Structure 1
Amino acid sequence: MRGATIAAFVALAPLLPAAAVAVGTLKVDAALPYVCTLPSGPQPATVRITAAFPERAEAGEEIRPADVTTAVELPGAAVAELTALKAATVRAESRLAVGVAQGEQRAEAAWSGTAQPVAVPTEGPLTLTTTGDVSSLTTGTPGELSLTAGAFGVDLAPSTAEGAATVPASLSLACTPAPDAEGRTVLARIPVGAGTPTGGPGTAAPSPDASSPSSPVPGLPLPPLPSDPAAPGERGGTPSADPRAGQRTEKGLTVTDEDAPGAPAARPAAPRCVTENVTPMSLTAYVTGYSNVRKLDGSSFIPLFCMLIEQGSPQEPPVPAPEGEFHFFTPSLADLSYQGRKQTPPFTSTFVAFGFQPVTATMVLEQTGPIKVDTLFRAVATGDNYLDNKVRAPLVLRVLDVKVNGVKLDVGPSCRTETSLTSPEPDPARYPGDHLVLVGLGMIPFGENAKGYVLTGGGPLTGEMTIPAFKGCGAKGENLDRLLTASISGPGNYVRQTQGQTCNFLNPFPPADPECTEDGQPYQIPKAGR
């Protein structure tokens, strides 16, 4: 599938220092006009991109960008909208789509960056500068390699003077190059000479992803979820509008016609979600939702993350079916995927501790073993079919950053739960060990469409978890384990996640809506249900 395409894998590692620029570098400093869509309407903005590349490379040689920064200057209209929310500071995360081309081959990379909170001025403009290292590019084909700036997005997480999140807690701006940017968006042209390719002709290999934790992503302070599990007849996530309307393909490059009649809003931004070693049984899906923290009387929004599923073959169920029913059992394996790591994106949530103290924490869920997705199909005499799905995921909760009333509390680099999050396990003999259990119930009435949760179609997954005690928290000899354990750990935390429809790139099922984008990512973006 990717044998004739340049694969451009760019993963942010913002906690690492920028790589040193080698002798013989090509320095990029481009200030480009963009148009950003604000809640009040489209507004002009300037995006300045700086980076350094090697002046030339050989086929199969690593091309590593260095000193990558992206600065966006937002107009006074954006400042006015932040001021109306009573925002005193704002934190930004940016995403720049970078087109990579060599001859007729095309690919797209995502350059992501983060910025520390900056003060919101009384009036515009507002400049936000995001930084982060990126991993390397490698092509096995000689010829000029060009990188072009494309769509730009920035997520804003404003906070009040007291350090609390505003309402709403985030703003997402989508930006496209302005018409007068035409012909100016090429960032670099790098000659690639004949060398010893590391792969087959036209292939590319990413360098290993950085091991540092990713930077914070804006989150939402939310009241706790209701603890009622989803009813079997409840429909899951809501798919986004068709992102392909108003698009055309020219020489392998997808072009969006902004003025196409009836074109809907662009597909929402989503993390990369592609199975690299794809098989006919490979499924990819996006998941998002909420999780309660019972001790803090609130819930945490878990942003959109990617799930890579390798569907198994049907087999005899572990327990014989009762008389009058037919059962079969399908075990599958899955992995989280975020920038090459088996984890969710980092998420930031604000809670009120002890009834009065605002506490903001940036966290991430990290996978510690294979995720098991088991589906039991039950056909009954009435002609109706039932689906009992259980997702068993060994996940630890890592705390990256904590602020108490706006003041940083240094928890160190190793603050995490002692063990995996745990749930009541209905079959501990077959599934030992600590893990989270989420249940998805589905029903296929005779002659009707499926309702509830179906692995390939998505839907709601619910469960209840215990948050274990914490370890490794604190810095400079200070031990904060007991503080976090007393504040957060404990049972009875309700979880509700919504999975979108899966993408099976090599063996698609023909539903009413497309499954996959042209580059093999899930087509539908679910919305978190409460």
Structure 2
Amino acid sequence: MYTQKPVTRAGRSVRVASVAGLALLAGLLSGAGSAADENAEPAGLAATCGTEDGGEAAAAASVALSVDVPATGEVDRPVQPGPVTLTLTLARSGLAGLLPEGTEAVVSRAALTVRVAQNGASAEAPWQLTAPSTPLGPDDDLVLVHTGEVPHVTFGAAGDVDFSLGEFTVELLTATATGAEAPPTLATLTCRLNDGEDGHLATTRVTDGSGTRPSGTPATPTDPAGGAGRAERQDIAVEPAAAADGDEEPDFCPVEPPVGELDASEAPQPPPGDPVRITVIPTGGTFSCANALGLANVHKLNGAMIINDPDAPALISVLATQRVATRATNAQGGPYTRIDSLANLDLPDAESTFLTFGFQPVTAKVSFENGPITISTGSYGVPPNRVSFSTAYFTQSLRLHDVKVNGTPLDVGNDCRTSKPFKVVLDGGASYTNVALGGILEGEVDIPAFTGCGTGGEDLNPLFTASISGPGNRVFMNQAPTCIPANPTRSYCPPPLPTLPGSES
């Protein structure tokens, strides 16, 4: 059995299966995972959230904001707060006047304005966070867990810096949209901290580089007394976490648009009846990109592997809504809607070390050869029998090379690969809303036998076939919402990280 010792991640034991796990990356993303830094203890605050129009409807809210802010920093060097988690709990009793009747689930975007103050000057740092689809029970409070990366801040003088939260807005969007465009907004809430809540989050001590604050009078702000400094001042500069050097715009999607042909053959097809109308979008689809994290279970090794490295993730390149298939509600066979999007993944070689027979260390590299990915989302039927679906389908081959056994090279040749491309079909059902919002997809992979392995008359095909090939290998992927570079202020830019499947406590 080619496995490594179990590693613990987010309170669960995950067994890493190396070469076999790499074989099961299933064209998603590759690389060993690493545990994320633990967030600081969340700040618990009480707030009230209501609509922007000042209507009477409002909901009592509790706010838990968790973020790592460095305890110290240096002048003219960026201070980067860590990933932020904002848990907003809205009382069920106050939601009736805020959301349309019949709302079953929502997706949420939170826009926080964090005040950064030092030496009498201050600036506002925009923190944009997102929450995945969250069900709304008939009696339970609505708990929205937002996450995201935030801008760094640079200071031109030494002194203690205070980070504090004030008023913020939360946009609630429908979680049942079937298109790849931005989902409709259900409500936009303004949340204000209750009296007695100061919103203080953290304090950072900025020094002149010697590790101590200089003596003397703190820098005098140029604003009028009692006024707040502006972000344009050199004393406090707030910049996007993914900003490029100089004045260039951030490159949120440093990947090429996908190429290839759509193949929706693995998506649910329409029930028999009238023909389905196929519409090809003239623009060729909307270019976007996204992050995804996942797990690949290895049936033969009774183990799993984390897919993608949360600290340096690869990006999926997407052309959303390239083609639409529709049939009217009153047509024979009933209504049918399917939206097809094209995606590509450019995977680098992956390297891994594993143990043969539980004790022999083996290192190998894997090259992935992936076909274009078709992501199809849609629905058919009428309520209450309406069925929503989502699939991601492509083919993949893999090649093994640079194999070493206990440090000694094992020549497997230049063409040690799966004997044929194999199908990867991932299903999200109704949990994967659309390409724009993402969600969890899962499937089962059947890896074919290996061929071309070995040189000098040595046949190593049975070794790799026995240890890797076969059916029953589960793959789980959680795709985060997509970033649309052409419209970054209305999409999820820079691309956020999703939760690793199975990491929930």
Q: TM-score, normalised by structure 2?
A: 0.43
Q: Which has the larger radius of gyration?
A: 2
Provide TM-score, normalisation by structure 1: 0.41
User: Higher RCO, 1 or 2 (CA under 8 Å, sep at least 6)?
Assistant: 2
